[in-house]
């Protein structure tokens, strides 16, 4: 459920068959040399070795390498919201090196999908990620300076560094030339029922609501009171709510390590916990639109060549539909700013914060969104594209 880079298909280097490269360094020493080659080696502050309980899980579940297929290994990585990662593996003499290379290429593609759209800086890091191999050694390099890491790896052996980059996921197209949509189904995309909250808002009676829904309604009422003014057009109301959500909540960084909060997919996460994932953003925006009597539709679809579950919204303004992706407008770099810096940077970041506000369906397709194209209205108008005056 996560979003902006394509990984280039680039198989640029094959090692010479004139003898297998060798090294006298241990895996720990190799990892230390690779980390030391980077401008900020301290980002690799986590370490896993075969002695750690999580090592085997990482090997099998993330890299899809059988534990019996790897003789030894070491993994260095950063926090869950960062893509930084260096992994080194020593394979048995009988192992198929290409199989290990392809597995690590697949991991880079999967990791790119995790960050795709949500964290452009981390996705860019993955764009330049590489897999190196030398003799029985295979290295995964997700680094700020891939060239330096490759050079450091080569220096430990007796060959000149090459680059094996991950292959771009193939995009199957339909008869219209659109990327074929298949719901990935990796995440629970059940939409939270906000009908009771809408009824309570309109009637002024919240006694029938659960305590959770009462809290959701309370924050909604406070937000509407704060940013909605009499005489506003539907466009102005929509924009005010879009910007309020971005400033109020943050993308749940735990999602990058599959540890999103229990309410991350519903309005409680966004409004009360002040963090959530795409379905939380989309259901929250949808709820506000209903409260403000703006016709809306929530779209549950996918991104990154239909490999990641994703959700966004559509609104109807003056009889025309527009697409809105609040999540992708709230990139995680935004929540790293202090409140004072955010106020200063808001104008400078204006375009980035509204890149997916009131755009066409074609724009969404070109920015790697997929959905059931026949079941959703086609947005073609640009009158209310941002900025509109």
Give the number of other Cβ atoms within 10 Å of residue 181's Cβ: 18
**Which pLDDT band, with edges at 50, 70 and 90, does 295 fall under?**
very high
**Which pLDDT band, with edges at 50, 70 and 90, does 12 fall under?**
very low
pLDDT score, position 4: 33
DSSP one-letter string for 111-156: HHHHHTTT-HHHHHHHHT-EEEEETTEEEEEE-S-HHHHHHHHHHT
Predicted confidence (pLDDT) at residue 159 exceeds the cutoff of 60: no
What is the per-residue pLDDT across 62-117, written as a single tens digit (0 to 9) for each?
A: 898 888 889 999 999 987 678 999 999 999 887 788 888 889 988 898 888 888 88
What is the per-residue pLDDT across 256-288, written as a single tens digit (0 to 9) for each?
A: 778 889 999 999 999 999 999 999 999 999 999
Which of 11-20, 127-136, 265-274 holds the top average pLDDT? Answer: 265-274
Predicted confidence (pLDDT) at residue 7 exceeds the cutoff of 50: no
Enclosing H/E stretch for 290: helix 278-291
* Dihedral class, residue 320 (left if φ above 0, else alpha if ψ from -120 to 50, else beta): beta
CB 23 within 8 A of CB 30: yes
d(CA 99, CA 104): 9
Q: Vertex 120, ends 118 and 123: CA angle to 5°? A: 100
pLDDT score, position 57: 87
Packing angle, helices 146-155 and 27-36, rounded to 10: 140
d(CA 87, CA 102): 14
pLDDT score, position 128: 92
DSSP one-letter string for 321-365: EEEE-HHHHS-TTGGGS-HHHHHHHHHHTHHHHTTTEEE-HHHHH
Predicted confidence (pLDDT) at residue 352 exceeds the cutoff of 80: no
Q: Vertex 127, ends 54 and 247: CA angle to 5°? A: 80
CB 39 within 8 A of CB 144: yes
CB 284 within 8 A of CB 267: yes
Q: Which residues contact 319 (CB under 8 A, 6 or more apart)?
A: none
Token pair in block for residue 6: 């394509």
Predicted confidence (pLDDT) at residue 1 exceeds the cutoff of 60: no
Note the residue count of the chain: 389
d(CA 338, CA 326): 20
**Which pLDDT band, with edges at 50, 70 and 90, does 16 fall under?**
very low
Predicted confidence (pLDDT) at residue 297 exceeds the cutoff of 60: yes
What is the per-residue pLDDT across 220-253, written as a single tens digit (0 to 9) for each?
A: 999 999 999 999 999 999 999 999 999 999 999 8
What is the per-residue pLDDT across 42-59, written as a single tens digit (0 to 9) for each?
A: 999 899 999 998 899 899
Q: Which residues contact 237 (CB under 8 A, 6 or more apart)?
A: 228, 292, 294
* Residue tagged 């109020």 (tokens): 248
What is the per-residue pLDDT across 319-343, written as a single tens digit (0 to 9) for each?
A: 999 999 999 998 765 455 445 555 5
Token pair in block for residue 23: 């090294």
Answering whether pTM is above 0.85, one says no
The alpha carbon of 302 is separated from its chain's Cα centroid by a whole number of angstroms, namely 12
Token pair in block for residue 134: 């030398």
Predicted confidence (pLDDT) at residue 2 exceeds the cutoff of 50: no
pLDDT score, position 14: 33
Which of 60-64, 119-123, 127-131, 311-315 holds the top average pLDDT? Answer: 311-315
Residue 128: name the closest of 139, 114, 138, 142 by CA. Answer: 142
CB 322 within 8 A of CB 130: no
Q: Could you give the domains of the chain?
A: 27-155 (no CATH), 195-370 (3.10.620)
């Amino acid at each position: 459920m996560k979003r902006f880079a394509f990984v280039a298909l680039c198989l640029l280097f094959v090692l010479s068959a004139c003898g297998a490269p060798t090294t006298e360094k241990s895996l720990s020493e190799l990892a230390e040399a690779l980390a030391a080659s980077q401008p900020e080696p301290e980002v690799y502050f986590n370490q896993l070795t075969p002695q750690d309980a999580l090592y085997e899980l990482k090997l099998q579940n993330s890299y899809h390498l059988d534990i019996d297929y790897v003789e030894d290994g070491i993994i260095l990585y950063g926090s869950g919201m960062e893509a930084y990662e260096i992994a080194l593996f020593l394979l048995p003499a009988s192992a198929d090196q290409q199989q290990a290379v392809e597995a690590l290429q697949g991991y880079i593609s999967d990791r790119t999908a995790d960050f795709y759209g949500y964290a452009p800086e981390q996705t860019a890091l993955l764009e330049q990620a590489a897999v190196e191999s030398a003799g029985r050694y295979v290295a995964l390099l997700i680094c700020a300076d891939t060239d330096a890491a490759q050079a450091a790896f080569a220096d430990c052996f007796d060959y000149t560094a090459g680059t094996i980059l991950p292959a771009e996921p193939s995009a199957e197209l339909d008869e219209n030339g659109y990327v074929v949509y298949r719901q990935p189904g990796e995440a629970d995309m059940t939409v939270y029922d906000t009908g009771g909250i809408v009824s309570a808002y309109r009637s002024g009676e919240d006694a029938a609501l659960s305590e959770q829904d009462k809290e959701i309604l309370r924050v909604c009422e406070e937000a509407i009171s704060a940013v909605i003014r009499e005489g506003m057009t539907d466009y102005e109301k929509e924009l005010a709510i879009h910007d309020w959500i971005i400033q109020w909540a943050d993308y749940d960084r735990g999602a990058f390590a599959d540890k999103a909060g229990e309410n991350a997919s519903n309005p409680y996460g966004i409004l009360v916990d002040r963090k959530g994932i795409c379905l939380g953003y989309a259901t929250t925006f949808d709820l506000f639109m209903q409260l403000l009597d703006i016709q809306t539709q929530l779209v549950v679809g996918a991104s990154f060549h239909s490999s990641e579950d994703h959700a966004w919204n559509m609104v109807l303004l003056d009889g025309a539909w527009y697409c809105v992706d609040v999540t992708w407008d709230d990139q995680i770099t935004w929540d790293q700013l202090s409140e004072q810096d955010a106020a200063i940077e808001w104008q400078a970041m204006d375009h980035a914060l509204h890149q997916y506000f009131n755009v066409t369906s074609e724009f969404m397709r070109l920015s790697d969104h997929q959905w059931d194209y026949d079941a959703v209205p086609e947005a073609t108008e640009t009158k209310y594209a941002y900025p509109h005056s």
